[in-house]
Structures are given as structure tokens and as C-alpha cells.
């Protein structure tokens, strides 16, 4: 498995399609919003002409109505790979969702399953605007977990609370991760661009999304606005504009600013969380040479 990571708008799709054509392999999407078939423009989901007949997996694979976690993704990818590697000997996984990449590479803690009804109740509380109250409850139930997880991440918050409430124990007590074993080799590659170049690409992408009809896409998703996948960059700002909170230009500026900030956080995650070999996004021949050497 060749893993290609990098910030949003850096050029992962183009690079991975060219690599897949060279290697004759498929691509697994590891973008936590491209899983959802209802989200298209705002997720920069690759169009058929961009895929260039390279088969992509885990795009449009789930409904936004379903909470799809990094653990779910890890389990489904492992099942997929057992079948896939009977046919082909290499696959590319690409995306910018650090937690989902980490789940596949390093595995997740062995957490107990919580009752489905409890998760539904917690998700309903989120939709009712009780996030801060839930954060306070976690702080009281498990101070260590409160300090160690990203409490702004709704999925992580719900997972920690449901483990505490269903077991009567501490979420943090289950965080005893052991190294995950793989039946395949992993090659890790990160791609980047000079900051100003990346930021310009982000600004251009946002303008293109708006031209393609982002506002209409978001209007059609009004019924799902409280779902976690839509409380993200490119969607939450449009909902704010449609509800009258901001004018059009302010909305555009916010999407661009928040996307740039997200790209910065992605780079920080990947450079601090794991060991990737980093290349300029346009250094295709260098990347090919590195892959060839690693596969030799």
C-alpha cells in the first residue's frame, strides 16, 4: 500500500491518478467527507474525467445520515484489502484525513462497543446544541480523556462519552494501543508545495466551487445541516450565509481563510504524527523513483 498524504488542494488526486496508471492499480480514498454520496462540490470530490478510468474505492460509499468513524473505515479497508490483494499487488490510499490514515496504519485502541441507542442519544444531543455541556460532562467523568482527545471533534467526543457511560469506566483506560501488524507493506509519502502557491490554489479552488454551484448544493443539504460531516469547512460558512449571518463576500473570505487554516493543521498533523517521505507535489519522477526503490 502506497499512502499519499498532504494538505487540501495540494494536488493529491492528479498525482495519485498518474501513479495508479503507471502501476496499474486502484485508489482508496481516505477523505472523511468524500465517503458521503450527498456531498460533492464542497468536498472537491474527483470528477470522472479526473479519475481517468482509474478505479476509486470509498468514494460515495456511505450516506451522510450514517455516522462513519475512523474505526469503521479501518475495518472496512482491511476486509477490502484481503480481497483486493488476491487480484493486484499494489494499491494507493490517499487523502487528507489524518485520523483515518492513522487508523489504517497504526490501528485504533480496542474500545468496547456501546449500545446503538446510547450513540443515537448522544448524537441527538449534539444536534440540539449541547456540545459544550457534553464536553463538561467528559471532563467530570474522565479528566485524562478530556485533556488527551480533540474535544472539538464531535466523533471523538461522542466516542469517549459513550464508552464512559456504557462501561462505567474511563475512556482513557482503554487507550493502550499496541502496534498494528499488517499483511502488506506500507510506503508512506507526503506531498507539499510552497505556502504561497498552496494558498493560491486553495483560493482558486474555492472560487471554482462557487462557480460550480456550491450554494445550491448546500441549499439541497439543509435537512442534514446538523450532521457532523456538514459542520466542516466549505459547508458551515455557506449555511451561515444562507441564514443571514454573513454577506456573500464575507462567506467567501471565511471559506478561503478557514481552508488555509485547515491545510496548515493537516501539514502539522502529518509531519508530527508519523514518518512520511516528503516531496514537492510536482516531483513526479522523484516520487516514481522512490516508489520503485521501496518496492524492489
Phi, psi torsion values for 109, nearest 5 degrees: -60, 150
Distance CA 39, CA 106 (A): 28
CA angle 50/53/59 to nearest 5° reads: 70
Residue 289 pLDDT greater than 90, yes or no: yes
For residues 241 and 247, give the distance between their C-alpha atoms in angstroms, rounded to a whole number: 6
From the list 267, 66, 14, 24, the residue with the least C-alpha distance to 76 is 66
Q: Which of 42-46, 81-85, 176-180, 263-267 has the lowest mean pLDDT?
A: 176-180
DSSP H or E run through 36: none
271: pLDDT strictly greater than 90: no
Given this model, what pLDDT does residue 66 score? 85
Phi/psi region, residue 113 (left: phi>0; alpha: psi -120 to 50; beta: rest), is beta
How is the chain split into domains, by residue range? 2-108+179-295, 116-174
Distances (CA, A) of 79 to 4, 62, 84, 183: 21, 16, 9, 12
Determine the Cα angle at 245 with ends 152 and 123, to 5°: 35
Q: Between 121 and 200, whose confidence is greater?
A: 200
Q: What is the mean pLDDT of residues 3-28?
A: 97
Q: Rounded to 5 degrees, what are φ and ψ at 95?
A: 165, 175
Beta-carbon count within 10 A of 73 CB: 25
Q: At what angle do helices 98-106 and 70-84 cross, to 10 degrees?
A: 50
Share the mean pLDDT of the chain: 92
The string of pLDDT tens digits covering residues 77-102 is 999 999 999 999 999 999 999 889 98
Q: Tell me how far apart the alpha carbons of residues 167 and 115 are, in angstroms, rounded to a whole number.
A: 10
Q: Domain 116-174 adopts which CATH fold?
A: Histone, subunit A (1.10.20)
pLDDT score of 177 more than 60: no
CB 271 within 8 A of CB 101: no
CA dist 49 and 75 (Å) reads 30
**What is the structure's pLDDT at 275?**
86
pLDDT of 175 > 80? The answer is no
Task: Give tens-digit pLDDT for 100-123.
Answer: 998 899 887 667 777 778 878 888
Can you give the pLDDT at residue 176? 56
3-state DSSP call for residue 127?
A: helix
Task: Fold for 2-108+179-295, please state it.
Answer: Rossmann fold (3.40.50)
The pTM for the full model equals 0.80
More confident site: 113 or 146: 146
CB atoms within 10 A of CB 13: 22
Helix (H) or strand (E) holding 258: helix 248-273
Burial class (CB in 10 A: 0-12, 13-18, 19+), 77: buried
Q: Which residues contact 35 (CB under 8 A, 6 or more apart)?
A: 29, 58, 59, 60, 61, 62, 68, 73
Distance CA 79, CA 76 (A): 5
Q: How many residues does the chain have?
A: 296
Across residues 223-228, what is the average pLDDT? Answer: 88
According to the model, what pLDDT value does residue 73 have? 94
Dmax (CA) of the chain:
58
pLDDT at 262 over 70: yes
Rounded mean pLDDT of 237-249? 97
pLDDT reading at 43 higher than 90 = yes
pLDDT at 192 over 70: yes
List the beta bridge partners of residue 233. Answer: none
Amino acid at each position: 500500500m502506497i499512502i499519499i498524504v498532504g494538505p487540501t488542494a495540494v494536488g493529491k488526486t492528479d498525482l495519485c491518478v498518474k501513479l495508479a496508471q503507471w502501476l496499474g492499480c486502484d485508489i482508496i480514498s481516505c477523505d472523511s467527507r468524500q465517503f458521503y454520496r450527498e456531498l460533492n462540490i464542497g468536498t472537491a470530490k474527483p470528477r470522472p474525467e479526473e479519475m481517468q478510468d482509474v478505479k476509486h474505492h470509498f468514494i460515495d460509499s456511505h450516506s451522510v445520515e450514517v455516522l462513519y468513524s475512523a474505526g469503521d473505515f479501518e475495518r472496512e479497508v482491511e476486509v477490502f484489502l484481503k480481497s483486493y490483494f488476491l487480484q493486484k499487488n499494489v494499491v494507493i490510499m490517499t487523502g487528507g484525513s489524518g485520523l483515518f490514515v492513522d487508523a489504517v496504519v497504526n490501528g485504533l485502541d480496542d474500545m468496547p462497543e456501546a449500545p446503538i441507542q446510547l450513540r443515537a442519544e448522544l448524537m441527538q444531543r449534539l444536534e440540539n446544541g449541547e456540545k459544550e455541556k457534553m464536553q463538561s460532562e467528559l471532563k467530570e467523568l474522565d479528566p485524562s480523556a478530556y485533556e488527551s482527545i480533540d474535544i472539538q471533534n464531535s466523533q471523538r467526543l461522542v466516542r469517549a462519552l459513550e464508552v464512559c457511560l456504557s462501561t462505567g469506566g474511563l475512556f482513557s483506560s482503554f487507550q493502550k494501543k499496541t502496534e498494528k501488524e499488517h499483511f502488506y507493506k506500507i510506503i508512506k509519502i507526503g506531498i507539499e508545495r510552497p505556502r504561497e502557491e498552496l494558498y493560491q490554489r486553495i483560493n482558486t479552488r474555492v472560487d471554482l466551487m462557487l462557480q460550480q454551484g456550491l450554494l445550491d448544493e448546500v441549499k439541497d443539504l439543509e435537512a442534514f445541516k446538523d450532521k457532523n460531516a456538514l459542520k466542516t469547512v466549505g459547508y458551515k460558512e455557506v449555511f451561515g450565509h444562507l441564514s443571514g449571518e454573513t454577506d456573500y463576500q464575507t462567506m467567501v473570505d471565511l471559506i478561503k481563510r478557514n481552508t488555509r487554516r485547515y491545510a496548515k493543521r493537516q501539514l502539522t498533523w502529518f509531519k508530527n504524527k508519523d514518518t512520511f517521505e516528503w516531496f514537492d507535489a510536482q516531483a513526479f519522477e522523484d516520487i516514481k523513483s522512490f516508489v520503485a526503490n521501496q518496492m524492489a
